[in-house]
Structure 1
Amino acid sequence: MLSTSLVLGLLAVFSVPGSGCGTQEYRTQAGECCPMCHQGTFVQSDCTLLSGTRCRPCDNGTYMTQPNGLKKCFPCSSCVAENGLFVWQKCTNKSDTVCGVSNGFFCKSPVGDTGCSMAKKHTHCAAGQRIKEPGTHRTDTVCENCLTGFFSHDGLTCAPWTICSGTQVKVKDGDPYSDVVCSCSSRNTFEKLLLFVWLCYICFFV
C-alpha cells in the first residue's frame, strides 16, 4: 500500500497539467510531466501514478542522440555512392551514420568536422583554362584562364605556344585552346629538292 507522502507527491506532479516540466522531463499529450528516456532509447509508454516512463532501445536502423520523450527513434542516414558518399562510421542506436566524401567529389553540406550529407563532383576546367587549385574533399576545383602566349586543350595545365624555327613559317596563330602551327618554308623545301637532284646527278654520272 502506498504511503501517504508518496501519494501526495504523485498527486502534486500529475494534478497540475500545464505547469513547467523539469529539464530531464517531457510533457505528455495529457499535459503531464514524465522522466525522459535515455540516449539510444525512446518512449514505449508514458509514466503513470504508479510507474515511471517505460523506455525501449532504438530498433536496428534507427538512433537517438539525446534524452527524449519521443515515441520513436530517427532513421539512420544513407550514404549514396552515386552521390559521392561512403560510410565513414556506421549508425548505432546512439549516433547517426557518418558519411565520408569519395575521391573526385567535394562536400556541399558538411556535418560536423568529418561528416557530409551532400557531395558534388569537382569542376573540370574547360579548354583554355588550367587548374589553379586542385579540389579537395571540402572545396571545389579552382580554374583560371591561360595567359596570352599559352594554351590548354585538356583544362589541366597551360603550355607555351611553340616558337617556329628559322627554317619554318607560322601557318596558324595560337589561341587559348590550341598551339601555334609551324611548317617548313617553301624556299627551304625548294633548296632541299635541288640538293636531292644534285646528289642524284652526281651518283648517276660519276
Structure 2
Amino acid sequence: MAHPEPSPALVATLILTLAWVWTEECLGVAPNSDTQQIHGIALGRKKREPKCQVGEYLHSNRTHCCMRCHAGTYLAEDCQSDILATRCMRCPKGTFTATDNILRKCISCQRCRAELQQITLSECTEKKDTVCGCQTNQFQSELNTLFKCKNCSPCHNGTIRQNCTKNSDTICVCHPGYFLHKNNCNPCSSCNEEECKKDCATVLRPSTFPSVQDDYWGSQGHIILLIGLVVVLAASLGLLFAVKAIRQYRQRVTTAIFYSCVSTQQPKKETVSEVVMNERKAATFAPVTPQIEKMWTANAVPRSMVEQELPDCVRPAGKTQLPDNPVVLYTVADHVLLSRWKEFVRRLGLSDYEIERIELEQRRVRDAQYEMLRQWRLQMGQGATVERISYVLNQMELSGCSEAIQEALAGQP
C-alpha cells in the first residue's frame, strides 16, 4: 500500500515554523508581526517583559515601565507608555506617604491617644506620620503605637542605678531593710512572700552574704588609705615650706629697713634690697590725711632755724651747701625711705603745691624725687645745706639715714 505524499502547503508551513522558532530562540530577532500568522495558523510567540530601573514599576499590562510617585503623593493614573509621565496627586490633609510608592490612596495619619496619656511630639504632614510620645519623667510601656505613658519610678527608700529612658523605667536599688516590688522599695516589715523574705534575709545577714560593695572596700581600702596619707603628707610639707618662706621674707624686710636707716656704722654704701624698693613703690605718694599734713607743716623747719646748732648727739655735717649735682641729689633720695619722702620734703620747706605739681609732671618716682630736691635747692639758695638735711632727718628720728647720707656725700668727688 503506497503512502500518501504530503502536500506542498503543509511542508511550507512546517519549514516556516521551524525558521521562526530558530530566529526567536537562537538569534534573538523577532520576526515581523505580519508574519506571526501564516494561512490563519497562530504561531503563539511569547513576548519578553521589560526590565524596570530604580524608581520605576511595571505597568499592569506588562508592556512598559512607569515612574513611581514621590513621597507625599499617590498614584492616580498609570502612564500610557514609557515616554509619558505617571499621573500622581498630592495626599489630602490627614494622610501621608513617606516614600516613593504606587499606592492608589495615601495612608491615614495616626492620632495620639489622650486616654493613654500620649502627647503629640510632631504633627502629621504629607510626607510624615504623626509622632506621639510621653511627657518628661514618663516612659512608653509598649513598643507599638498603642503604648501607654507611665510615670518613672522615683526610687523612694533606694538609689537610682539607671535613669528612666524613653522606653524603660528607672532601675532602683533599695536601701537595707527594704525589698523591691514592682520597681518600688517597700519595707521588709510588709513582706509576706517568699521572694521578698529571701531579699530581706540577705540584708539582715551581711556577714553571711557579703555584698559587692563590701568586697570592693575590702580589696581596695588599703590603696585608698595609702593615697590619703600621701595627700596629707604633701599638704603638710607644702604648709611648712610656705611658713618658712614667709618668715624669711619678713626677716629680710626687717633687716633691710634696719640697716638702711638705723645702723650708725656703714663702711660703704649698700644697695637697697628689692623688698624695700617694693615697699617704696607701694607707698608712692600715698594720700595723707589733713591732720597729718597739719602736723608736718607745724613741725617744718623754718628758715630762721637753719643756722641753729645741732644737738650734741648728732655729728655736725658742716656748713656745706648742697651742690647742683644730679649724683648728689640722687644720693640723698636713695637714703630716705619712700614711705616718708613727703614728710621729708615738707619738713625741708617745700610746699604742698610744689609737691603736687612735680608729681603730675614727673610720673616716675625717682625723677619726681630728684625734681623736688632740685626745686627745694633753688628756693632755699644758700640755705640748702647738708646740715639742714641732717637736722630734718634727726627730727624724723632717722639719724641712721642722716649719717649714711653724710658718708655717701663725703665719698663724692
**Aligned residue for 2:104?**
71
Q: Considering Cα pairs closer than 8 Å and 6+ residues apart, tell me whether 1 or 2 has the greater RCO.
A: 1
Distance 1:41 1:83 in 2: 31
CA distance in 2, matches of 1:17, 1:145: 72
Q: Give the one of 30, 38, 42 matched to 2:61.
A: 30
Q: Tell me by how many angstroms 1:176 deviates.
A: 4.5
Find out whether 1:140 has 2:176 as its counterpart. no
> How far has the Cα of 1:126 moved from its partner?
9.6
Higher share in strand: 1
For residue 43 of structure 1, the aligned residue among 56, 75, 78 is: 75
**Alignment length (residue pairs):** 140
Runs of 5+ unmatched residues, structure 2: 1-46, 192-413
Instruction: State the TM-score, normalized to the length of structure 1.
Output: 0.53
What's the CA shift string for 1:79-131, capped at 9, x where partnerless? 11222321111101111111121245313428xxxxx763442465899x636
Look up the match of 1:54: 87
Q: How far apart, CA to CA, are the structure 2 residues paired with 1:28 and 1:175?
A: 71
Aligned match of 2:12: none
1:60 shift after superposition:
1.3
Q: Compute the displacement of 1:20 (Å).
A: 2.1
Letter in 2 for 1:24: G
Q: Distance in 1 between matches of 2:127 and 2:48?
A: 31
Select which of 158, 178, 184 maps to 1:130: 158
Q: For residues 1-206 of structure 1, what are the structure 2 equivalents within 5 Å?
A: 18-31=49-62, 32-49=64-81, 51-107=84-140, 108-109=142-143, 118-122=147-151, 130=158, 132=160, 133-148=162-177, 175-177=188-190
Whether the 8 Å CA contact 2:139–2:152 is kept in 1: the answer is no
Deviations, residues 121-174 of structure 1 (Å, cap 9, x unaligned)? 2465899x63634534342122334413x699xx8778xxxxxxxxxxxxxxx8
Q: Which has the larger radius of gyration?
A: 2
Distance 1:175 1:71, change over 3 A: closer
The DSSP-based 3-state class of the residue aligned with 2:115 is: helix
SS of structure 2 residue aligned to 1:59: coil
Partner SS, residue 66 of structure 1? coil
Task: Say which SS state the counterpart of residue 109 (structure 1) adopts.
Answer: coil
1:18 partner letter: E
Identical aligned residues as a percent: 29
| Superposition deviation, residue 36 in structure 1 | 1.2
Relative to its length, the structure with more helix (as a share) is 2
- Backbone CA RMSD of aligned residues: 3.7
* Structure 1 residues 104 and 83: CA distance shift in structure 2, 3 A: farther
The AA in structure 2 aligned to 1:142 is: I
Q: 1:109 to 1:56 in 2, by over 3 A?
A: same
C-alpha distance 54-139 of structure 1, shift in aligned 2 (>3 A): same
- Give the structure-2-normalised TM-score: 0.29
Contact 2:163 2:171 in 1 (8 A): yes
